[in-house]
Amino acid sequence: MPYTVAVLIGSLRKESLTRQFVEALKGISPEGLKLEVVEIGALPLFNADFEANPPAEVTAFKQAIEKSDAVLFATPEYNRSVPGVLKNAIDWGSRPYGKSSWNGKPAAVVSISQGVLSGFGANHHLRQSLVFLNMPTLQQPEAYIAQVQTLLDGKGGFVKPETKGFMESFLKAFEGWIAKVKG
């Protein structure tokens, strides 16, 4: 039975390159992983006043994370960090205190950039949060994707065989990581 992986995309744009990259990943995912995008755009801004009685969108989001076996974060970099929408989802998932939906979930991070720095800042800022959330995160291989606009074919696939091969090995390593963490 494949592991269900909740995929959080840190970009809301319908045609975002991050979303396109995730679609390409879904096409090469090993049989042991089922990648399911969990949408985060409808989540209201985090407000601790609503923790005790969260909006329905928050409850549905938390349930989707809780039923998954692992989480894959795919994020662009905004101002050397993660987009606010992704941080908002992380905050909602962690609350109320003591009832985090993230606790113990194996995780992996793919940062994506149109530039040459490959989302390095976003990747590492996100990893800092994942440590606090007690999400054992895949360390190697690291996935920093630079100049993503040159790597996608516009039809849900990768242009370069080396990109496809690297991402296949990344997903296979993530599958092994999930198995190791889940015991």
Q: Phi and psi of 175, rounded to 5°?
A: -60, -45
The number of folded domains in the chain is 1
Task: For residue 127, give the H/E element and its range.
Answer: helix 120-132
**CB atoms inside a 10 Å sphere around CB 91:** 15
Provide the percentage of residues in the chain whose pLDDT is more than 70: 100
Mind listing the pLDDT tens digit for each residue in 79-121? 999 999 999 999 999 999 999 999 999 999 999 999 888 889 9
H helix runs in 9-115, sequence order = 17-28, 56-67, 84-93
* Amino acid at residue number 36: E
Range of the domain at 124: 3-182
Mean pLDDT of the chain: 96
Q: Phi and psi of 11, rounded to 5°?
A: -135, 135
Q: Is the pLDDT of residue 151 over 90?
A: yes
pLDDT at 125: 95
pLDDT at 14: 87
We report the CATH number of the domain holding residue 13 as 3.40.50.360
